[in-house]
Amino acid sequence: MAPIFYLNLFKHSEIGENIIMKIHMEYQEAKQLHREFYSEDVDYCVMQIQRSGPFDFPPFSWGYGISDIGSWWANISSDGKNFVVTKESWLNADKIKGCWQFSINDVAQIKCGIFKWRIKFKSPVSGLGKKLNMRPKDDYGTKDEFKQILQACS
């Protein structure tokens, strides 16, 4: 299990409390952030991803840092019918900076490779484009479960 890191900037709010920014989040916290997108009786899985930027291909991916240009961290969840992608804030993992929802009917193709997974859409999704290229992360221990969901959808 990954350690939890907190960054205390020692800034004070109007009521005098310290502002604490969270750099990592646990599975239950990520699942709670996605709870509002699903009904109470629906079971869903959440996985952390790194959205691949436009330079995440050889020869750019051979140089450290170059392929990370334009990429960002996110959580993706699915119940097998609907998907939700939430973009994390840079230094505050439990703050949502962007949110995209789509259903299995919007998906044209799903590929799960060794290092990268891809969801191609039938038509472009605003903010995500025609495809969602991602690097799955197993910080929550749900990578295999989420892969099974994706493979059942394809």
Average pLDDT over residues 72-96: 85
More confident residue, 24 or 117: 117
Q: Which of 17-31, 59-73, 74-88 has the highest mean pLDDT?
A: 74-88
The CA-based angle 135-2-98, given to 5 degrees, is 50
Among the four given CATH numbers 2.60.40.3950, 1.20.1260.10, 2.30.29.30, 3.30.460.20, the one describing domain 24-153: 2.30.29.30
Q: Is the dihedral of CA 76, 137, 146, 25 positive or negative?
A: negative
Exposure class string for 24-62: b at 16+ Cβ within 10 A, else e: ebbbebbbebbeebbeeeeebbbbbbbbbbebbeeeeee
pLDDT at 78 over 70: yes
Question: What pLDDT digit, counting tens, does each position of 41-64 carry?
Answer: 899 999 999 887 765 666 666 666
Average pLDDT over residues 103-107: 95
Residue by residue, DSSP assigns 73-99 as EEEEEE-SSEEEEEEEPSS-TTSEEEE
CA nearest to 133, candidates 79, 88, 70, 82: 70
pLDDT value of residue 25: 78
Q: Residue 124: enclosing H or E segment and its boundaries? A: strand 117-125
Helix, strand or coil, per DSSP, at residue 14: coil
Average pLDDT over residues 139-146: 94
CA nearest to 139, candidates 56, 51, 75: 75
More confident residue, 54 or 104: 104
pLDDT at 123 over 70: yes
pLDDT at 122 over 60: yes
